[in-house]
Structure 1
C-alpha cells in the first residue's frame, strides 16, 4: 500500500510539473525536486476544504 501511495504521488508531481529535472548538478537537482514537492503540497493544501466543528 505504501508503494502505491508513493507511486501515485510521483505520478502527480510528474504530471503537474514535467517529467524531468532541468539542472545537471546532483545537489541542484535535489533542490529542484524539493521545490517541486513543496509546490505540489501547497497546491494540494489550497484545494482542501476548511472544515470547522459545529457542536
Structure 2
C-alpha cells in the first residue's frame, strides 16, 4: 500500500470523481503487473 500511495495517490489529476476512480484502478493494475513481473516462475518438479 505504501508504494501505491507514493507512486499514484498524490497524482490524481482528473477533476471528476468517477474519472479519479478509473485512474486509481489503472494505477493498481499497473502496480500489480510490476509485482507479477518480479515474481519467479514456478515449475513442478518431475
Q: Same fold (TM over 0.5)?
A: yes
Equivalent residue in structure 2 for 1:38, among 29, 37, 46:
29
**Aligned pairs, how many?**
46
Q: After superposition, what is the alpha-carbon deviation per residue over 1:22-41, rounded to whole angstroms, capped at 9, x for unaligned?
A: 11100100000000000000
Taking only aligned residues, the RMSD between alpha carbons, in angstroms, comes to 1.4
Task: State the match for 2:10 in structure 1.
Answer: 19
Unmatched runs of 5 consecutive residues or more in structure 1? 1-8
Higher relative contact order by CA 8 Å / sep ≥ 6: 1 or 2?
2
TM-score (norm 1): 0.71
